[in-house]
Amino acid sequence: MEKDYEKRNIEILDELKKDLDGVKTSNDLVLVKAKYLGKEGIVTLLSKKMKDIEPEKRGSIGKIINDIRTNVTTLIEEKDNYIKEELLKKKLNDEKIDITLPSKKLRRGSMHPFNRITEEIEDLFVSMGYDVLSGPELETDEYCFQRLNIPLGHPVRDTQDSFYVDVDHLLRTQTSSVQARCMEANVEKSPIRMICPGKTYRRDDDATHSHQFGQFEGLVIDKDVTLANLKGTLEVMAKTLLGEKTKVRFRPSFFPFTEPSVEVDVSCFKCGGKGCSLCKNTGWIELLGAGMVHPNVLRSNGYDPEKYKGFAFGTGIDRLAMMKYNIPDIRLMYTNDIRFLKQFDRKELK
Ligand code: PHE
């Protein structure tokens, strides 16, 4: 009787080996596994027959059937591992990377002319000991106008067509608001040396004006600041940003927050002062507004004008970039046209 079972063991294993030879995929293997170990499988049926065997033979025959089950399971597991390994090998082979192939070219971004100028300005003033500050773009009427000696109803408000959000709040029309905030925060501390580049807003929209544009403001407060200091500072700035040969000219002007006020022109850096289309044949280009901080402004922001003096200047960043890089329309600065931006990738623009 045991002999029959041992014979059966060999038969089953032979048949299984043949079946496994034909197995190519995990799905094939599932079918083979079911044929031997499934509910109606060959090995399962053998075990079920155990109950018909005389009790004294059950031990030895049970052991043979267990051996059969172990052998069958081992062979199937081996095949399973083999299939998985082959799959992995195939996958690795398919995904093989040839590191000797040339790579795809990565397109490098370029610096926006606006940021390029802003960084140049910041570098220059930081090297002269200035702090770089920022202030809120949504500003109160008080900081944007009143603290800068522009009371309600002052006519200069008309020249800075503003976006009001409610009666007291507007999108700031000038970075001069940061002058007031900075003085207030430092009351009677000196010196103050700061610049503040940032976004400003006015209701304008044409080739040279945008409703949103960049300005930067400069402010120095100390006990003995003079107009000559302002002149020297702006000369350094003009030469650094626009070239060593740049000449600077001061014209009397008016701003409510400075007294005296000046308009600062630079010699045309395109024609060198001879006259061309950029300078409209005058040889000069208007660069910025500036002046000595008005006593009323010092007073409204906590400084005693008898003890402290200051100078301030402010200009459009876009305007500077447009002049420097010969950009004809301010709207190009904000439309993110890749063809426009790409031009600033060139080294010679540095
Ligand atoms: N805020 C002025 C403007 O927007 C510029 C300015 C700043 C003038 C500081 C004088 C002093 O036109």
Give the pLDDT band of residue 17 (cuts 50, 70, 90): very high
**Pair of tokens at residue 286:** 């208007």
Calculate how far, in angstroms, residue 176's C-alpha sits from the geometric centre of ligand 1.
Answer: 6
Q: Is 200 in the pocket of ligand 1 (CB under 6 A)?
A: no
Among 255, 261, 301, the mutation site with the greatest number of ligand 1 atoms within 8 A of its Cβ is: 255
**Residue nearest to ligand 1 atom 5, measured at CA:** 314
Question: So what's the pLDDT on residue 348?
Answer: 47
Question: So what's the pLDDT on residue 327?
Answer: 86
Distance separating alpha carbons of residues 245 and 226, to the nearest angstrom: 25
Calculate how far, in angstroms, residue 329's C-alpha sits from the geometric centre of ligand 1.
Answer: 22
Calculate how far, in angstroms, residue 175's C-alpha sits from the geometric centre of ligand 1.
Answer: 8
Q: Is 298 in the pocket of ligand 1 (CB under 6 A)?
A: no
Give the pLDDT band of residue 349 (cuts 50, 70, 90): low
Letter for the amino acid at 221?
I
Give residue-wise pLDDT tens across range 54-71: 888 888 888 999 999 999
Give the pLDDT band of residue 189 (cuts 50, 70, 90): confident
Q: Which atom of ligand 1 is nearest to the CA of 173?
A: 4
Distance separating alpha carbons of residues 197 and 125, to the nearest angstrom: 11
Domain locations in the chain as residue ranges: 2-94, 113-134+187-349
Question: So what's the pLDDT on residue 106?
Answer: 83
Calculate how far, in angstroms, residue 213's C-alpha sits from the geometric centre of ligand 1.
Answer: 14
Give the pLDDT band of residue 142 (cuts 50, 70, 90): very high
Calculate how far, in angstroms, residue 320's C-alpha sits from the geometric centre of ligand 1.
Answer: 15
**Residue nearest to ligand 1 atom 2, measured at CA:** 314
**Pair of tokens at residue 221:** 């407060």
Domain 113-134+187-349 has CATH 3.30.930.10: yes
Question: So what's the pLDDT on residue 225?
Answer: 96
**Pair of tokens at residue 309:** 């003096």
Contact 308, 316 (CB under 8 A): no
Calculate how far, in angstroms, residue 313's C-alpha sits from the geometric centre of ligand 1.
Answer: 6
> Can you tell me whether residue 68 is helix, strand or coil?
helix
Give residue-wise pLDDT tens across range 222-266: 999 999 999 999 999 999 998 899 999 999 999 999 999 999 999
Among 170, 234, 253, 257, the mutation site with the greatest number of ligand 1 atoms within 8 A of its Cβ is: 257
**Pair of tokens at residue 156:** 């200069």
Question: So what's the pLDDT on residue 104?
Answer: 86
191 preceded by a cis bond (ω within 30 of 0): yes
Q: Which atom of ligand 1 is nearest to the CA of 176?
A: 1
Distance separating alpha carbons of residues 93 and 87, to the nearest angstrom: 10
Give the pLDDT band of residue 329 (cuts 50, 70, 90): confident
Q: How does the average pLDDT of the chain come out, rounded?
A: 91
Among 173, 174, 220, the mutation site with the greatest number of ligand 1 atoms within 8 A of its Cβ is: 174
Q: What is the CA radius of gyration of the chain?
A: 42
**Is residue 350 pLDDT above 70, yes or no?**
no
Q: Is 255 in the pocket of ligand 1 (CB under 6 A)?
A: yes
Mean of the pLDDT values across residues 269-296? 91
Mean of the pLDDT values across residues 191-219? 90
**Residue nearest to ligand 1 atom 4, measured at CA:** 174
Question: So what's the pLDDT on residue 346?
Answer: 58
- What pTM, to 2 d.p., does this model score? 0.70
Mean of the pLDDT values across residues 18-37? 93
